[in-house]
Amino acid sequence: MFKELDPILHSQLRLAVMSLLIAVKEAEFTYIREKTNATAGNLSVQVQKLKEAGYIEVTKQFKDNYPQTTCKLTPHGIEAFEAYVKALQQYLQAGQS
């Protein structure tokens, strides 16, 4: 019996953001935008969805008079990411057998 792939993570940009954040402690919005080549508008929408799902924590503050947004995975987000990777592995193993 296959586990359904988490629809929040099974999207190109949201998965890219989660994969970046799993590898670092925290990253600024500008860093994520640069690494994913996404537009600011689209990234903002996807970051908001991840935040609403409780997968990431978003901190907004001012740095030298410029707004700065920092993103970081929550423990719930890490669990969801791990479960997603496990489910992917199941699909791939089933495909091979």
User: Which residues would be at the binding site for another protein (CB under 8 A)?
Assistant: 5, 10-16, 19-20, 22-28, 30-31, 34-38, 42, 46, 63-64, 84-85, 88, 91-92, 95
Provide the b/e sequence for 8-20 (b: ≥16 CB within 10 Å): bbeeebbbbbbeb
Judged by beta carbon, residue 54 or residue 89, the one nearer another protein is 89
Residue pair 70/26 in contact by the 8 Å Cβ criterion: yes
> Nearest-CA neighbor of 18 among 60, 76, 67, 87?
76
Complex with another protein: residue 42 or 79, whichever CB lies closer: 42
Minimum distance, C-beta of residue 7 to another protein, in the bound complex (Å): 10
Nearest residue (CB) to another protein, 11 versus 74: 11
